Amino acid sequence: MGNSSGKGEGDEEEDEEEEEKDGEEVVIVRKKKKKEEEVEEELPLGVDELLESGDPVLDLSYRKFKRLPARVCALMHVEKLYVCGNSLRALPDSITQLQGLRILALDFNKMEDVPLAICQLANLSRLYLGSNRLMTLPPEVKNLQSLRCLWLESNYFQWFPKELYELPNLKSLQIGDNRLKTLPPDLCRMETLRGLWLYGNRFQTFPKVLLSMEGLEILDLDRNKISEFPSLKRLRSLRLFSYDHNPVKEPPKVGEEVLVVGEGAAEFLEERETRKDRRRKEAEEEEEAALAGEEPIIHGILKNSSSKRAALEEDEAETGSPVLEYDGGELEYDEEAFEYETEELIYEAEGLEYEGEELEYDRAYVDYEYEEDMETKAET
């Protein structure tokens, strides 16, 4: 019994020690979890103030976040959320609470898939997912019916994501620096698309489907391997075409109002401006020639007015009839003739002014093309 009791005591002591060890392990595990939670909740300097500011624009870019702080998802007033340049791989499901969110920027993170929670943000109008690790889009992206601008540049798309067909308000699509070689033949279904950036892909021939996208205003095909471009004159809405760093020597034929950027574009634009100036001068000369055809009549009246006046004065002396009023009529008619010429000149000046407005419009359009955030400024 002593042995058994001694053994039992020893066993109990060992069990207690094991329990204590187990207890220590539990405590250690709990401490680790607690420490992880503390690390997760610990926010960089200045972020607390941002979260408490009540500002509808929240910029948490380049803060070294691996997870989006849970407190962000409780900020119902936020309309624009920028979390670029962190190390996010996913987003919490609770982000669906931010139904007032209109702009979400997640560029330069480590996302391999688009978080499905994003697809429930019904009021989202701008979504930036550039410089991640995306290869596809989820079917749920069709829920973003308010989306107008989508940036997917610098990812790993090998095929054009047809899920975008279901977005009826998408106007601006940035999908440059991917691995696209072709475009689907039914891309023209995206009738609302106005800006399409396809630079830095792997196109070796010009995608013919683009010729049927008559609503396009901006088309960027920089840094591809296209050696020949068809005429783009049928794209009547086009205002900017960029083809820089392609193996071509000259730009394609485009409409008169299109700004082109690429090899030989500067010479092309200079020649086009020269042609415009020549046509303008020819038109002005034709107008001047038309006016010159009336000059003998007008100036003939003026030229002969002095001799007529003398003759009328002689008649007055002989007949005693007052003819000065008639003479005044002649002079008044001459003034009208002068006024007519002046009106013609004013009309020409108005024509020049109108052309100036056209040039100003072009410049404004270029600003719009390159700025791309004009819509955002208008919204704010």
**C-alpha to C-alpha distance for 316 and 65, rounded to whole angstroms:** 104
Which residue(s) pair with 242 in the sheet? 220, 261
Last residue of a domain, one of 277, 307, 327: 277
Q: Please report whether residue 12 resides in a domain.
A: no
Res 311: pLDDT: 55
Q: State how many domains the chain has.
A: 3
Tell me, rounded to whole angstroms, the distance of Cα 104 from its chain centroid.
16
List of residues 6+ apart from 166 with CB closer than 8 A: 141, 142
| Greater model confidence, 346 or 246 | 246
Last residue of a domain, one of 140, 166, 192: 166
What value does the mean pLDDT take over residues 345-351? 36
Q: Are residues 44 and 137 in the same domain?
A: yes
Q: Are residues 158 and 44 in the same domain?
A: yes
Domain that holds residue 346: 294-379
The neighbour count for residue 261, using CB atoms within 10 Å, is 17
pLDDT at 108 over 90: yes
Q: Please report whether residue 26 resides in a domain.
A: no
Res 309: pLDDT: 57
The least confident of 39-53, 97-111, 179-193, 210-224 is 39-53
pLDDT at 332 over 60: no
Q: Are residues 42 and 153 in the same domain?
A: yes
What value does the mean pLDDT take over residues 71-84? 94
Last residue of a domain, one of 116, 140, 166: 166
Q: What is the DSSP string of 289-303?
A: HHHHTTHHHHHHHHH
Q: Are residues 157 and 71 in the same domain?
A: yes
pLDDT at 345 over 50: no
Which residue(s) pair with 150 in the sheet? 127, 173
Q: Are residues 73 and 139 in the same domain?
A: yes
Q: Please report whether residue 319 resides in a domain.
A: yes
Q: What is the CATH number of the domain that holds 157?
A: 3.80.10.10
The least confident of 134-148, 258-272, 350-364 is 350-364
Tell me, rounded to whole angstroms, the distance of Cα 185 from its chain centroid.
24
Q: Are residues 139 and 217 in the same domain?
A: no
What value does the mean pLDDT take over residues 8-21? 46
**Residue-averaged pLDDT of the chain:** 76
Res 318: pLDDT: 52
**C-alpha to C-alpha distance for 97 and 71, rounded to whole angstroms:** 12
Q: Please report whether residue 205 resides in a domain.
A: yes
pLDDT at 331 over 50: no
Q: Are residues 159 and 220 in the same domain?
A: no
Q: Are residues 207 and 266 in the same domain?
A: yes
pLDDT at 218 over 90: yes
